[in-house]
Amino acid sequence: MCADHIRRWESGALAHAVSDPFGQGPVPWLRGSETYFDDTGQVVPWYADPALGRDLGGPHTADDVHRQIKGFSSTGAAAPGESIDFHITVDPPQPFSVDVYRIGHYGGEGARKITTSPRLSGIVQPAPLAAERTVSCHHWWLSWRLQIPSYWSLGAYVAVLTTTDGHRSHVPFTVRDSHPADLLLLLPDITWQAYNLYPEDGRLGASLYHAWDEQGRLLGEEDAAITVSFDRPYAGAGLPIHVGHAYDFIRWAERYGYDIAYADARDLHAGLIDPTRYRGLVFPGHDEYWSLPMRRTVERAREHGTSLVFLSANTMYWQIELGPSPSGVPGRLLTCRKRHGPGRPALWREVDRPEQQLLGIQYVGRVPEPHPMVVRNAEHWFWDATGASEGDEIPGLVAGEADRYFPRTALPEHDERMLLAHSPYRDSENSLRHQETSLYRAPSGALVFASGTFAWSPALDRPGHVDARVQRATANLLDRICKRD
């Protein structure tokens, strides 16, 4: 495709297309398409459905150049009885409303509307501030305060912002509580923010991966931000890339009645939750960026007997720090130096704490095109009732990024250990590599599962990607963790 066909702010959408091969996935108010290019070669955002265009009177997705409506929340997670503040800009100024949805199965709909705000007055907020590559909107005025009722269910929520002239954007948040449950699902909001390129305007926006030069060309990691702020909207439609992987798991798990509590990665970092209260912790999506407190807390949970379920790949790759905003609010700035200048290395494996010591496998690289997962050790209880036999291929299940076992890297202490898949694939240089899926039992009795691929959660409940073998195998694992067997 010719670069001249791409408006400069759309280069961010291209970057997203490369990093997430699955797109958003279905939620009822989006009616989303996973197509990135139309028949003429023009970019089509992953969050837009061509059938809902202007000519049909449907909603139009706000963009980061015109900022028709964009917003962020004061906190990523709150408990019933607490409140969440929303900071929203509307250009041109006009009334807007907020529909709040909860993600779940809901008879296959994928979400349910929980409440709608009164009609609110929209204003044009000040332009984002930038210091070096760090973009922040911490100076935006409060637009709406949502008081969370005591009767709301815990879960993943999305605030859908809509102007009277039909522009729309989104703000995800989590309702959490400290009540015990079988499973605690941890939404990877730190990794979501690391990839956030807001504003996708070809000028100001930056993530830990990309920024723009003076000509609006997309730059790579060496020119990207070192610190990014949570005090800003998510780029594009306002939903983070990779968020659909978590939603895939949520829809499937709630359909089958698993007892789940919810929290964010920043809750784990801040010590706001006690993981030892749960039989298992579930990390449902791409969860690449971890702080030292996060890792210590999860390791202690494993030693206590809490099982760990990692349903993606490239988990816990970069070590990060969280700091306060300019106004002193903790946990609002995310810093990862990566390869920028002297100082302590940012890769966990380079500080002599490779991720394999927790996961049982670790990141090996990108997978340019989906490949089949090849079943190994099919006699293991993990594969019971799946119909899978030794050497069977599950199409498309190795995709996005992959992990494998590194023989020269220390393994975690374990009583039992099993590799459940060994899948060859070709990397971007056509070299032969392989992916592996791991399960081990820690001395405490905790099970630790790592899928080693981005495609596991989409195989649970994503139209076009569902695989009954993956669904049954995941149920075998969670049932054993929850003592259903």
- The H-or-E segment that residue 420 falls in is strand 416-426
Question: Cα(373)–Cα(397) distance, rounded to whole angstroms?
Answer: 5
Number of residues that this document lists for the chain? 485
Please report the pLDDT score of residue 148 as a whole number: 97
pLDDT given at position 39: 43
pLDDT at residue 13, rounded to an integer: 64
User: Residues with Cβ < 8 Å from 127, sequence gap 6 or more?
Assistant: none
- Sheet with 318-323: strands ordered across: 227-229, 333-335, 318-323, 289-291
DSSP 261-321: EEEEHHHHHHT-S-GGGSSEEEE-S---EEEHHHHHHHHHHHHHT-EEEE-SSSTT-EEEE
Q: Which two tokens stand for residue 147?
A: 């008081």
**Domain extent for 108:** 3-229
Is the domain of 416 the same as that of 300?
A: yes
Domain boundary among 167, 200, 229: 229
Residue 236 in any domain: the answer is no
Q: Which of 205, 229, 253 is the last residue of a domain?
A: 229
Element spanning 478, H or E: helix 468-481
| CA-to-CA separations, 20 to 96, 116, 240, 367, in angstroms, rounded | 31, 31, 11, 11
Q: What is the pLDDT along the chain (485 residues), one digit of tens a residue?
A: 344 445 555 666 666 666 777 777 777 776 443 333 334 444 444 333 444 444 444 578 898 989 999 999 999 999 999 999 999 999 999 999 999 999 999 998 899 999 999 999 999 999 999 998 999 999 999 999 999 999 999 999 999 999 999 999 999 999 998 888 999 999 999 999 999 999 998 889 999 999 988 888 888 888 999 999 999 999 988 999 889 999 999 999 999 999 999 999 999 999 999 999 999 999 999 999 999 999 999 999 999 999 999 999 999 999 999 999 988 899 999 999 886 766 677 999 998 899 999 999 999 999 999 999 999 999 999 999 999 999 999 999 999 999 999 999 999 999 999 999 999 999 989 999 999 999 999 999 999 999 999 999 999 999 889 999 999 999 999 999 998 65
Instruction: Give the single-character DSSP code of 213.
Output: -
> Do 147 and 220 fall within a single domain?
yes
26 part of a folded domain: yes
Place of tokens 């000519």: 55
Kindly state whether residues 56 and 162 are assigned to the same domain.
yes
Please give the structure tokens belonging to residue 186: 């941890």
Q: pLDDT (tens digit, 9 = 90+) per residue, 55-102? A: 444 578 898 989 999 999 999 999 999 999 999 999 999 999 999 999
Phi (first) and psi of residue 358, to 5 degrees: -110, -45
The pLDDT of residue 177 is: 87
Is residue 146 domain-shared with residue 279, that is, in the same domain?
no
Q: Is residue 298 part of a domain?
A: yes
Tally of domains within the chain: 2
For residue 169, being part of any structural domain is answered with yes
Based on the domain organization, do 281 and 161 belong to the same domain? Answer: no
Domain shared by 294 and 440, yes or no: yes
Q: What is the DSSP letter of 354?
A: -
Residue 213: its pLDDT value, please? 87
- CB contact at 8 A, 123 and 89: yes
Same domain, 70 and 176: yes
Kindly state whether residues 221 and 278 are assigned to the same domain.
no
In a domain, 249, yes or no: no
Same-domain pairing of 157 and 76: yes
Q: Are residue 89 and residue 150 in the same domain, yes or no?
A: yes
Domain harbouring 415, CATH code: 3.40.50
Does residue 167 lie in a domain region?
Answer: yes
In this structure, the answer to whether residues 225 and 280 fall within a common structural domain is no
Residue 3: alpha-carbon gap to chain centroid: 28
Whether 73 and 197 share a structural domain: yes
* pLDDT for 323: 95
Residues whose CB falls within 8 Å of the CB of residue 39, separated by 6 or more in sequence, listed in order: none
Q: Which of 170, 198, 229 is the last residue of a domain?
A: 229
Which residue, 105, 119, 116, is CA-closest to 28? 105
Task: Collapse the DSSP code of 163 into the 3-class scheme (helix H, G, I; strand E, B; otherwise coil) and give the result.
Answer: strand
Q: Give a yes or no: residue 420 inside a domain.
A: yes
Predicted pLDDT at 195: 94
